[in-house]
Amino acid sequence: MSERAVVALSVLLLASPAAAEPRVALLDLPFRVTQLRDAGSEAALAVTTAGLPQLPRKAGPVAVAWGETGAAVLMLSGDRVTAVPLPLDAIEGLTAGETPKGAVPGTRRVLAGPVSAYLSGPSRAADGRPGAAGVTLRERQTVTMSADPKPVPVATATVPPGAGAVFSADTLRPVEIDGALNLLALSERPEGMGLAVIGRQGGVWRVRAETPSEPGPLALAADLPGPMPGAVLVRGEEGRLEHWSLAGGTPARQARSADGKSFSAPGAALGGELVVASRDRTALAYLSLKNLTERTRAALPAPVGAGLAVLGRQVVVALADGRLATVQDGDARP
């Protein structure tokens, strides 16, 4: 290669854009955040349908954050996350139904079309940890149109976890499998923990399938919507990630994180990637959903606290010290 060609190649390489490091910024809020709800939550749905004058008519996906002295709705303005202050009593009123009567304390119901579901019947696992004896589903029925107003009938069903098991006191996740609504819950048995898929079979709600139970802690880091629905679990004291496909309603393990890589919930799908907290919760890691290989990570100014939410290609993180951070990765896979 001639000297001129070498120089030209060097210039080209220097001019090529390098992989951008994720950018972390703090949102300026006048209160400490203790609660954060993502765009798929009941709180976000309530906020966007309440006709609040502070919000634009077409706000798009929003997240909701609040604490003891204030509240805010988080939304995208271009490629920036902005916070719209709201009165605290407004948020308290809109989120009052998150834990309905009969639900396990500290858990939240989920809404999916005409169906609402929540963990019910406070119970205990074999090791004494709080759990639930069932999942209660309430489904609004269709009403024939008439001139006279009629109450909407609601069908109620309670799904048990199975003999000798309890559901873990963790929030349920709705996921569509083969065009039908299903719910994801964690089940605990004397031999260990696993993921339970709750769906309708023969017109009856029941536990359709489960992953094998294994000893040690288990957390549901993220549900994966789309044509290939799935779930990402964090298993064991070492924080190993597992990607399970849920196609057909039968869980099948697709990938596991590499040895020596440790993670923790929470997490979320971000395009074709997974963003999830590091084991010590001081960073967010970006991993391929195909094989759970890590591409990059973003160090946070404090450990993850109340959770995270995805708005567009940005991740909003509630930190343990009450601050709110945004993480934008220019190389996130669309």
Express each pLDDT in 300-319 by its tens digit. Answer: 999 999 999 999 999 999 99
Cβ–Cβ < 8 Å for 257, 282: no
For residue 65, is it within any domain? no
Q: Which of 80, 17, 74, 25 shows the shortest CA–CA distance to 299?
A: 25
Range of weakest confidence among 19-28, 85-94, 177-186, 261-270: 19-28
Share of the chain above pLDDT 70, in %: 92
Gap between the terminal Cα atoms of the chain: 38
Q: What pLDDT is recorded for position 78?
A: 87
Express each pLDDT in 209-228 by its tens digit. Answer: 999 999 999 999 999 998 89
What is the DSSP annotation of 42-96? HHHHHHHTTT-TTS-TT--SEEEEE-SS-EEEEEEETTEEEEEEE-HHHHHHHTT
Sign for the pseudo-dihedral over CA of 258, 183, 317, 245: positive
At 91, list the tokens: 């948020």
Model confidence at 2, pLDDT cuts 50, 70, 90, reads: low
For residue 164, is it within any domain? yes
Q: Is the pLDDT of residue 3 over 60?
A: no
User: DSSP 3-state assignment of 7?
Assistant: helix
Highest mean pLDDT among 34-38, 49-53, 167-171, 255-259: 34-38
| Cα–Cα–Cα angle for 216, 217, 221, rounded to 5 degrees | 140
Q: What pLDDT is recorded for position 51?
A: 85
For residue 104, is it within any domain? yes
For residue 305, is it within any domain? no
d(CA 74, CA 27): 10
For residue 293, is it within any domain? no
Model confidence at 333, pLDDT cuts 50, 70, 90, reads: low
Q: What pLDDT is recorded for position 171?
A: 80
Express each pLDDT in 236-288 by its tens digit. Answer: 999 999 999 999 888 999 999 988 889 999 999 998 899 999 999 999 999 99
What is the DSSP annotation of 228-265? S-EEEEEETTTTEEEEEE-GGG--EEEEEPPTT--EEE
Q: Is the pLDDT of residue 5 over 50?
A: no
Cβ–Cβ < 8 Å for 210, 196: yes
Better pLDDT: 52 or 325: 325
At 67, list the tokens: 């604490």
Q: Is the pLDDT of residue 7 over 60?
A: no
For residue 220, is it within any domain? no
pTM of the model: 0.88
d(CA 37, CA 184): 18
For residue 39, is it within any domain? no
Q: Is the pLDDT of residue 18 over 80?
A: no
Element housing 309 (H / E): strand 304-311
Q: 174 - beta bridge partners?
A: 183
At 177, list the tokens: 């499998």
Number of domains in the chain: 1
- The answer to whether the peptide bond before residue 266 is cis (omega within 30 degrees of 0) is yes
Q: Which of 71, 66, 132 shows the shortest CA–CA distance to 104?
A: 132
For residue 125, is it within any domain? yes
Cβ–Cβ < 8 Å for 118, 136: yes
d(CA 310, CA 36): 11
At 52, list the tokens: 């609040």
Model confidence at 25, pLDDT cuts 50, 70, 90, reads: very high
Cβ–Cβ < 8 Å for 288, 276: no
Q: What pLDDT is recorded for position 27?
A: 96
HEC assignment per residue over 84-127: EEECHHHHHHHCCCCCCCCECCCCCCEEECCEEEEEEEEEECCC
At 223, list the tokens: 């549900």
Q: What pLDDT is recorded for position 12?
A: 42
Q: Which of 104, 109, 72, 111 shows the shortest CA–CA distance to 88?
A: 72
Q: What pLDDT is recorded for position 218?
A: 95
Domain of residue 106: give its range: 99-215
